Amino acid sequence: MTGSGENWLRDGLDDIAVVESGLWVRGVDYMAGWRVARESADRLNQALLGAGVDLSQVRAVASTDEDGRGVVRVAGLPDAVDRLAQLLEAFADGVGGAR
């Protein structure tokens, strides 16, 4: 994934440690869930790029839940998330609402 700006990988949007305060459980395969989430996050990030969204402002981030299931979170700066919401609302209005 690429975004505009040279420091987009270190901008803090991928730092979800504060969101996930739980401890890892021995024997849970977190990597398998993360891999699945990573594929989905990459696909969403490609779609965001295609829509002209700046990934240094808002992007999908792969993670796992406490049971090792893949989770994709949208992380971003509030203004950028608001613009993304407007884009999705405009799309929904254009196709007759949510599917």
Taking only the tens place, the pLDDT of each residue in 34-92 is 999 999 999 999 999 999 999 999 999 999 988 899 999 999 999 999 999 999 999 89
Alpha carbon distance, N-terminus to C-terminus of the chain: 28
pTM of the model: 0.72
> What letter does residue 9 receive in the DSSP assignment?
G
pLDDT at position 2: 42
Which tokens belong to 40? 């989905």
Strand partners, 72: 62
Among candidate residues 19, 2, 7, 6, the one with its CA nearest the CA of residue 75: 19
Number of residues in the chain:
99
> Where does the pLDDT of residue 97 fall: very low under 50, low under 70, confident under 90, or very high at 90 and above?
low
Number of other residues whose CB lies within 10 A of the CB of residue 70: 19
State the Cα–Cα distance between residues 97 and 55, nearest whole angstrom.
Answer: 26
Which tokens belong to 13? 């949007």
Which tokens belong to 83? 């613009």
> Where does the pLDDT of residue 7 fall: very low under 50, low under 70, confident under 90, or very high at 90 and above?
low
Using the predicted structure, report yes or no on whether residue 19 has a pLDDT greater than 80: no
